[in-house]
Homo-oligomer: A and B are copies of this chain.
């Protein structure tokens, strides 16, 4: 910045173009901004300095205005905001395909819980590194995580360079990480303290769900979140079974129960929300609760279909998440967008439901809003953090292109992403990583998997 200022002083000539030095100029692509005007710029460019976007415009304008230390040619592809995976359990990559096509309780009791009982910080660290590799390769630049040993998740994510909201899962029974629940609250507060003001990592308070968290625990969690100004994450109304259980226990739906105990708030991120009443939706809207839709996990576990078109009609902010790799079994947000768009069309028998533009919005700017970082992330706009991906469209399955939104939702997959930038740092270029040794990451998880199997 100072250099630019000096240059300005040195060249006071009238009408001359001031050429500013920046770090990165991305050019020669369709710039999909996802800004409030939904601008799509043909032969566009994005200028990046340090961790920020300094300008978005036409290639002609920006190449005249900036001198970049690094120039990236998008090869007529799509330059867009990095995707926001608004709900996952990153380290569960270690259990990808361990057990599928089973009744829920068999799956949990015979496979997932026994495997999780053996978790260590190192397994979580390695599994998170694998998840980060997969997310970078498929265009995700920000994710929201809930799991065990989240200090290891934060550490792995920070090292790799992704942006994340992370939090330790808390419930009434003892955890393989911290032991009794009081220690879980302490662990969370320590995480908040340690990672405060980190440029990439935000800590959230994350009680698992109303069916394994007492009202007392939920209220304590909310108090910690309020005191520290951090978001909360919870699984909510995921299955009919959960709704029946909560109704029996508390006499009301899970959403109404949370409203009743004062848990709902604008900084609450509610995952799944599959089984909702009209009254539940009005409560979510009234308290401005954010919702995350996980269509593939809800399908695979046979949980049901979340009423997303109705949530959107209520004006509720909805993001998209993949959920963990034990119930998906991948972290590809492009496939998740495709499924989200198609699932609601067939469910409502309306081919206009969940149009492509709406779905791209959910996976970018609305996802960022869900995580409470919409002001600084989720779109390509001057002053926002530089979280940017480039998609190569020179493939048979992406030929021809009539409509960018349609392409992103119905034809692009994660494997078409060639470049990923987070916080102004290039994490992947031409599908090569700059911050991790992917062969070593895969070898580590393969060793872990041998122990699990």
Question: Which of A99, A342, A349 has the most C-beta atoms of chain B within 10 angstroms of its own C-beta?
Answer: A342
20 A-B contacts, Cβ less than 8 Å apart?
Answer: A96-B399, A96-B400, A97-B410, A98-B403, A99-B402, A100-B406, A100-B410, A101-B341, A102-B352, A103-B351, A130-B396, A137-B397, A299-B346, A302-B349, A343-B343, A395-B442, A399-B445, A400-B445, A401-B449, A413-B413
Establish whether residues B397 and A356, one from each chain, have CB atoms under 8 Å apart when the complex forms. Answer: no
The verdict on A244 contacting chain B, using a C-beta distance below 8 Å, is no
A300 within 8 A of B: yes
What B residues does A442 contact at CB under 8 A? Answer: 394-396, 399
Could you say which residues of chain B place their CB within 8 Å of the CB of A96? 399-400, 402, 411
**Distance between A304 CB and nearest chain B CB, rounded to angstroms:** 7
Q: A285: CB under 8 A from chain B?
A: no
Question: Which of A56-64, A207-215, A332-340, A380-388 lies at the binding interface?
Answer: A332-340
Answer whether residue A435 sits at the interface, using C-beta atoms and an 8 A cutoff.
Answer: no
B130 and A93 form a contact (CB under 8 A): no
A410–B300 CB distance below 8 A: yes
Residues of A at under 8 Å CB distance from B? 93-94, 96-104, 107, 130, 133-134, 137-138, 240, 296, 298-305, 328-332, 335, 338-339, 341-343, 345-346, 348-356, 394-397, 399-403, 406-407, 410-411, 413-415, 438, 441-442, 445-446, 448-449, 453
- Chain B residues with Cβ below 8 Å from A342 are 296, 299-300, 339
> Complex formed: what's the CA distance from A356 to B96 in Å?
14
Instruction: Chain B residues near A341: list those with CB within 8 A.
Output: 101, 300
Q: How close is A90's CB to chain B, nearest CB, in angstroms?
A: 12
Whole-angstrom distance between the Cβ of A342 and the nearest chain B Cβ: 4
A401, chain B: closest CB distance, angstroms: 7
Considering the complex, give the chain B residue whose CB is closest to the CB of A354. Answer: B101
Residues of B within 8 A of A103 (CB): 351-352
B403 touching A97, Cβ below 8 Å: yes
Task: Give the top 5 A-B pairs by smallest Cβ distance, nearest first.
Answer: A400-B449, A299-B342, A415-B415, A101-B355, A97-B406
B394 in contact with A300 (CB, 8 Å): no
Number of copies: 2
- Contact A134–B396 (Cβ < 8 Å): yes
B397, A300: Cβ atoms closer than 8 Å:
no
Partner of A102 from B303, B305, B351 at Cβ < 8 Å: B351
Cross-interface CB contact of A401 among B97, B133, B351, B395, cutoff 8 Å: B97
Which one of B97, B137, B343 lies within 8 Å of A299 (CB-CB)? Answer: B343
Q: Complex: how many Å from CA A395 to CA B349? A: 37
- Which chain B residue lies CB-closest to A301? B351
In the complex, what residue of chain B is closest to A351 when comparing beta carbons? B302
Docked pose: A97 CA to B301 CA in angstroms: 31
**Is there an interface contact between B355 and A304, defined as CB atoms closer than 8 Å?**
no
CB contacts (< 8 Å) of A448 on chain B: these are 400
A296 to B104: give the CA distance in the assembly, Å: 25
Residue in B345, B397, B400, B449 whose CB lies within 8 Å of A446: B400
Q: A431 to nearest B CB, angstroms?
A: 10
Residues in B neighbouring A438, C-beta threshold 8 A: 396
Contacts of A137 in B (CB 8 A): 395-397
* A330 B101 Cβ-Cβ under 8 A: no
Using Cβ atoms and an 8 Å threshold, which residues of chain B touch A453? Answer: 402
**Closest residue on chain B to residue A408 by CB atoms:** B97
Contacts of A330 in B (CB 8 A): 397, 410-411
* Other-chain residue from B93, B356, B397 in contact with A101 (beta carbon distance below 8 A): B356
> Is B107 a contact partner of A351 (Cβ separation < 8 A)?
yes
Q: Tell me whether A346 and B445 are in contact (CB under 8 A).
A: no
Instruction: Evaluate whether A101 and B299 lie within 8 angstroms (CB atoms) in the complex, with A330-B410, A397-B134 already known.
Output: no
Closest Cβ neighbor of A298 among chain B residues = B346
B346 touches A304 (CB 8 A): yes
Given contacts A329-B411, A330-B411, A402-B449, contact A348 B302 (CB under 8 A): yes
Closest to A404 in B: B97
Given A302-B351, A335-B413, A410-B329, also A403-B100 (CB < 8 A):
yes
Partner of A328, one of B301, B396, B410: B410
Min Cβ gap A302→B in Å is 4
Q: Which residue of B lies closest to A400 (CB)?
A: B449
